[in-house]
Amino acid sequence: MSALIDLGEMRHGGDGDEPLPASPRRPPGRVARVVALGCLALLAVTGAVAPARRPAPVRVPAPQGAAFVVLADRLMVADGPGTVGRGGRVVTGHRLPGGEPLWRFSLPAGDHVLGLGVAAGGLLVTSSPAGAGDTLSTLLDPATGASRWRQPGYPVATASGGLLLESPRAAGAGSVLAVDPGSGAVRWTLPIPAQGVAYRTDGHGVTQLVLVTPDGRVAVHDADTGALAHTGRVPAAPDGVSYRYAQVVADLLLVDGGPGTVTAYGLDRLDARWTVPVQERAGLWFTDCAGMVCLRDQVGGARTLDPATGRPAWTDERWLGVYPVGGRLLAATPGIGLELDRWVLEPTTGRVLGRLGRWRITGTDREAGRLLGLRHLSADRTLVGVLDVPAAEARIRAVLPGSWDECADSGTVLVCLRPDGGLTLWPVGR
């Protein structure tokens, strides 16, 4: 029988976040008094040395709702999607841990930042004109802010370290570009149908692109070379225009070839594997649950199918949602506001492996399966924890004064965004 790890409330005092009271002290004995007197005499001779003070936190300007990324010893800050209509096109670089400004980059007039990422050791800025329309991707040098390249499309990473730029459009006029992440040079391009493109992944990124046309033609392409791996056919879309489902989940292509049903096809041979009934209601979709197939909707709960047979594997209505992290499932139950009670599940059985406690999920670090969590404490403090999902455990990273929207961890500094704007760099060590 496995042990259940419960880090739910981390209770110490009456309200769950106060420290333990100090244990009563006994008067010092004769030996202790002699040692203390000796230490005082030594200090009188050599001079007292004050204990080292923790470095003060550093403020970095940032608008409310800013986007930010930590990359090595650099902090990059963008105006963020919340500033669309109020500028929203400035990106700045700062040195860590001191926060000194290094550079400032502005997107072309009318362009607005949608998000920040990392590619080929650079800062990848996604943007679009007026916050809508075609997405653009720009790679900046994190040391200087210089633009390395700019191409149309939304970035999607491949498993081998490549980069795809997707530009979906109506009437099948969209395309996918594969670019060299370092130079932006176009390696190959593919037109994508009106249904869009689905991606096969291996946990590290995309390995194949799957294109499905309304008449049921399927083409599977290699994500590195764009070469056609194989083709096949599935039933045409019921309305002849588009499928309700055309998803890649757990190495399967799921399409709705008949009313009230979804059929799974193996991606390697496009052979029919199984068919399941589905309720025709809005907000119902399939997701990959660490190798299992999850059927999700807006109501909540978890319904999991065996990817080999399509038969129900397990169901649990208590979960608000589940999603894969590091080969496990991270589930949630109601908590306080955005701070949900987090649990770790075994994917094939739904068995609870551990309780992480009440957290609001924020940024991730570079190690797969580890998230940062925030929890508001009394006296206007915030607990920052590292949520190690594969290990089913939470570890305290810091207790910060004040309330914070988002945080990122550089390894030695926590970078946190205030709700009213502005970033603070908190030295926390490793």
* Mean predicted lDDT score pLDDT of the chain: 85
Question: DSSP letters of 255-288?
Answer: EEEETTEEEEEETTT--EEEEEE----TT-EEEE
State the SS3 of 309-352: CCCEEEEECCCCEEEEECCEEEEEEEEECCEEEEEEECCCCCCE
Mean pLDDT within 85-109:
88
Domain at 57-152: CATH code: 2.40.10.480
Mean pLDDT within 239-255:
91
Q: What pLDDT, on the 0 to 100 scale, is given for residue 282?
A: 62
Task: Give CA–CA dist 21/109, Å, rounded.
Answer: 58
The per-residue pLDDT for range 273-316, each reduced to its tens digit, is 999 998 876 678 899 999 999 998 877 889 999 999 999 999 99
Give the count of beta carbons closer than 10 Å to the beta carbon of residue 19: 8
pLDDT band for 166, please (50, 70, 90 cuts).
very high
Give the domain ranges of the chain: 57-152
Measured torsion, CA atoms of residues 345, 347, 350, 352, in degrees rounded to the nearest 10: -20
Q: What pLDDT, on the 0 to 100 scale, is given for residue 31?
A: 37
Q: Give the rounded percent of residues in the chain with a pLDDT score beyond 90.
A: 67
Residue 139's nearest CA partner among 91, 172, 175, 176 is 91
Which amino acid is located at 124 in the chain? L
- Class of residue 253 by CB neighbours under 10 A (exposed 0-12, middle 13-18, buried 19+): buried
The per-residue pLDDT for range 340-386, each reduced to its tens digit, is 999 999 999 999 999 999 999 997 654 567 899 999 999 999 999 99
Question: DSSP letters of 214-230?
Answer: TTSEEEEEETTT--EEE
Residue 157's nearest CA partner among 226, 254, 224 is 224
- Token pair 């009213």 is found at 420
Buried b (16+ CB within 10 A) or exposed e, 353-388: bbbbbbbbbbbeeeeebbbbbbbbbeeeebbbbbbb
Q: What pLDDT, on the 0 to 100 scale, is given for residue 53?
A: 59
- Token pair 């404490």 is found at 377
Q: Give the rounded percent of residues in the chain with a pLDDT score beyond 70.
A: 83
Residue 135 CA: distances (Å) to CA of 186, 262, 372: 17, 32, 28
Query: Between 64 and 426, where is the model more confident?
Result: 426
Mean pLDDT within 247-253:
94
Residue 353: both structure tokens together:
């492996």
Residue 146 CA: distances (Å) to CA of 98, 123, 138, 246, 395: 22, 10, 10, 40, 38
Lowest pLDDT segment from 128-142, 297-311, 392-406: 128-142
Residue 143: both structure tokens together:
């040391």
- Class of residue 286 by CB neighbours under 10 A (exposed 0-12, middle 13-18, buried 19+): buried
Query: Between 423 and 43, where is the model more confident?
Result: 423
Whether residue 16 has pLDDT greater than 90: no
Mean pLDDT within 268-272:
95
Q: What pLDDT, on the 0 to 100 scale, is given for residue 230?
A: 95
Buried b (16+ CB within 10 A) or exposed e, 167-194: bbeeeeebbbbbbebeebeeeeebebbe
CB 387 within 8 A of CB 372: yes
Residue 231: both structure tokens together:
């083709």
The per-residue pLDDT for range 23-37, each reduced to its tens digit, is 333 344 443 443 343
The per-residue pLDDT for range 405-417, each reduced to its tens digit, is 999 999 999 999 9
Whether residue 87 has pLDDT greater than 60: no
Q: What pLDDT, on the 0 to 100 scale, is given for residue 51?
A: 44
Radius of gyration of the chain (CA): 26
Question: DSSP letters of 17-38?
Answer: SSPPPPPPPPPP-HHHHHHHHH
Whether residue 84 has pLDDT greater than 80: no
Q: What pLDDT, on the 0 to 100 scale, is given for residue 368?
A: 63
Q: Helices (H), strands (E): how many in the chain? A: 1, 36
Task: Give CA–CA dist 234/264, Å, rounded.
Answer: 10
Residue 400 CA: distances (Å) to CA of 51, 149, 180, 286, 381: 21, 39, 41, 39, 6
Task: Give CA–CA dist 223/208, Å, rounded.
Answer: 5
Task: Please list the residues that pair with 165 across neighbouring strands.
Answer: 155, 177
- Class of residue 147 by CB neighbours under 10 A (exposed 0-12, middle 13-18, buried 19+): middle
- The distance from CA 175 to its chain's CA centroid, rounded to whole angstroms, is 26
Residue 66: both structure tokens together:
């800013």
CB 62 within 8 A of CB 87: no
Please indicate, yes or no, whether the overall pTM of this predicted structure exceeds 0.75.
Answer: yes
